[in-house]
Homo-oligomer: A and B are copies of this chain.
Amino acid sequence: MNQVIELLNAHRSIRKFTDRNVEQSTINTLVQAGQSAATSSFIQACTVIQVNDRSKRTSIAEWSGNQSYISDAHTFLVFCADMNRHQISCDMHKADMLSGYTEQFITATVDCALFAQNVAIAAESEGLGIVYIGGLRNKIDLVTETLKLPNLVYPVFGMCIGYPDQDPEVKPRLPLDVILKQDHYDDRDDPSLIAEYDQQVKAYYQNRTGGQKDMSWSEQISGMLQKEARPHMLHFLQSRGFLQK
């Protein structure tokens, strides 16, 4: 296994950071590495807002469910799926833009995620730690207003970046046979493979919490999926020009 793959496999989210500064030139390098990711039909639909303002950080931390590391991390980036600059391009050529398609929502969202994953890997290759912040979608309307995002732009997730002040274990993942299928989908063995994996996850949590947390993967998932999942999202996205057809 080469060193790049070792780096990828060593990923774990970091939620505690030292005070050490991250140079702006480093942040620029990370974002440029993000730009190097593949982009669907060259749309380049990701915009990054670097949030430096302390009060904005505090608000976003609170809205995201009191995730204090959003305030504490040296750097906090918000990755936005952006079709505003495509509107600008259409205006430059006096072209009528057809927007609102679900397909466009997918390509812009995927573009953002590929971009962000490059930023994450570039950061980790520099000894930095990161954590993705999906929690900002709790109050996506307030985040959008705070960052002055125009129509056709939505914040997909955030990312905290800084030098790690913790060294958590890598979390065990589902067995390869659940994830990788040959030629067609076949889930006959999945229940028994998931049940085996559940024991691994229980052991991981018990070890990490000194016996406090006793939870398997399927328990965690089934608990989560009995609750509504940010039911405001569809209406919000439609109001911003997405997912209308």
Contact = CB atoms under 8 A, between A and B. Distances in A.
B44 A174 contact: yes
19 contacts: A8-B122, A11-B36, A13-B38, A40-B132, A41-B224, A47-B178, A52-B183, A85-B178, A89-B218, A89-B222, A92-B195, A95-B222, A95-B226, A98-B225, A101-B231, A109-B109, A110-B113, A113-B113, A114-B120
Nearest to A221: B89
B88 A194 contact: yes
User: What interface size band does chain A fall in?
Assistant: 35 or more
B7 A4 contact: yes
Given A56-B183, A174-B44, A217-B42, A229 B1 contact: no
A148 B37 CA distance: 30
B53 A32 contact: no
A210 interface: no
Interface string A10-51: 110100000000000000110111011110111110111111
How many copies of this chain? 2
A239 B173 CA distance: 30
A212 interface: no
Nearest to A50: B182
A121 B121 contact: yes
B179 A147 contact: no
A137 B101 CA distance: 13
- Quick one: which of A5, A11, A43 has the most chain B CB within 10 A? A5
Contacts of A11: 36-38
A191 interface: yes
A168 B194 CA distance: 43
Contact of A97 (B31, B126, B226): B226
